[in-house]
Structure 1
Amino acid sequence: MDKHEDFLNRLNEAIKDGDAKQVRIAEYCDVSEQAVARWKRSGQISKDNLFALSEISGYRYLWIKSGEGGKRISSVTENRNEYMKSENTKVYYARDTEDSDDIEQLVEAIRKAHANKVLTDQAISHLTSFIRTLNNRR
């Protein structure tokens, strides 16, 4: 097998066996289902969409991209850091707290639930209002 075929196999595994169905992947990446189908056939996918796919599927960015390390995301923060290092990208956060891993995991759980239509847009709106209310009480 060549590198491209290996990549296609990993990409297809993340799409087929990941935490979200193809329609949810398309919605999360803000592309059509046909675009996701093209990714599966051609392997032509932007780095941003590959990272978004890694987030929604639960498969590590570096594993999908190059086969490095373990398949599944064990830490959302670690996956993001690997992506940023690999692509020489920087992300700035409003603040860093000692509870950031717990917060990251909560945000990840909410994101996955929303992407898989377990949480509605209205539920997300209510959660956002609730969190803002908590934040304002500090």
Structure 2
Amino acid sequence: MGCFQQHLLVFMAMAFAIAIKPAFSVLGWEERYLPDPRVCWGEINKADGCEHDLYASVVNKKINMGSECCEAIQGLDYKCKNWIFNHGRFTPEFGNRVKKFCATLGVTLPPSYRIYYPQTPGHGDLRD
């Protein structure tokens, strides 16, 4: 292979690497799949005291919140619900309890929506 061909090959490889880099680096994995926590909590805090009620429910081991809080949680998009109850500060089991509690207030999430998807069969079942 001649010197010109080697230079041309190196140039083309560099040009290709530069051309495809923006396609892969515009958004990282977390930016694509995880929401901005400030947006999620901002939606929850539209209901006065909702965030406090969520934390108090964990501490007191008894869910106590108003229908406005349930409506705020229901209004969250999928990414926020998933982040808060699977990757955020609360456990998936707690998310299912919140869902059941909100149903008693007449605020329900869509039937197809489950907050918790267990990784293994039988894991995380709530028998209350």
* TM-score bracket, shorter-length normalisation: 0.3 to 0.5
Q: RCO (CA 8 Å, sep 6+): is it higher in 1 or 2? A: 1
| CA radius of gyration, larger in | 2
The structure in which a higher percent of residues are helix is 1
> TM-score of the superposition, structure 1-length normalised?
0.30
